Amino acid sequence: MESSKKPIKGVYSARVNDTWWESPVWETETDFTEQFNQNLIEEIYSIGQGIASGRDTDPHDSLWDYQLPHLEQLKQVIYNIVTTTVADYMPQEYRTTFDFILSWVNVKAPGERIETHGHPDSTIAATYYIQADDGCGNLTLLDTGRELNWDREILSSKSTLGIKQVVPKAGKLVFFPSYMLHRIEENQSNRMRISLSTDMRHSVVRTDPGAPVLRSWTNQMIKIRD
């Protein structure tokens, strides 16, 4: 099995405080090789071919449900990178755990694009680029963080929404909060852009003393009569 332990290279667009709501986008160049990516493509193709031909009589909902070696390795690397990085950006009053929801592949031929959308049922949206030539279509994200005056903690009536762009590159992992609207620009290269996307959801560790469960509001509730 190939290793992918290159130190995380984060593109942090937010301040140290309140960063979760400042549209942070993280980019990491893994050390997965071209051969790894080709093997990954073969695994994904075999899944699609099995479903299309009817040989797979019980298709699963997510790529992660198919326990193939390169998919499993990529899944573990994504989990390690995302959870390690995002832990410092989530609210610190309580601990959280992360789980994968779905994983799927996006294959876009020259001239194709993906319209603006979000991932409302998850916490983190992540994409790993398997095949990505120059000009294959940037990932464009809406920077909602610019709408806030962080020094005064108010919405700014004069601010202008900005955008952030990620240039695809084979072996790159990009991830961001799922509340960020984003789109994929037109593929203007001569080959298909192939990427694997996955959604992750965090949940609170309910037994943690600082967990935001009903007891967290006890003192506020008793103010009603005190």
Report mean pLDDT in 10-residue bins for the chain, 226 residues: 43 47 90 97 97 95 96 96 85 74 96 94 96 97 73 56 90 95 96 97 80 84 90
pLDDT at 2: 46
**Is 116 strand, coil or helix?**
strand
The third-level CATH classification (topology) of the domain covering 19-222 is Jelly Rolls (2.60.120)
Cα dihedral across residues 34, 32, 124, 139: positive or negative: negative
* Nearest residue to 137 (alpha-carbon basis) of 198, 78, 191, 199: 191
State the DSSP H helix or E strand holding residue 124, giving kind and residue range, or none if neither: strand 124-131
pLDDT of residue 4: 45
Domain chopping of the chain, boundaries = 19-222
Do residues 133 and 195 make contact, with C-beta atoms less than 8 angstroms apart?
A: no
In the block, which residue shows the tokens 């990620």?
166
Residue 72 CA to its chain's centroid (Å): 17
For residue 158, the model assigns a pLDDT of: 57
* Confidence (pTM): 0.84
The residue with tokens 């690397």 is 77
CA 92 to chain centre: 20
Residue-level pLDDT at 53: 97
Q: Give residue 14's pLDDT.
A: 35
**Confidence at residue 43, expressed as pLDDT on a 0 to 100 scale:** 97
Measured at the alpha carbon of residue 5, what is the angle toward residues 136 and 29, in degrees to the nearest 5? Answer: 20
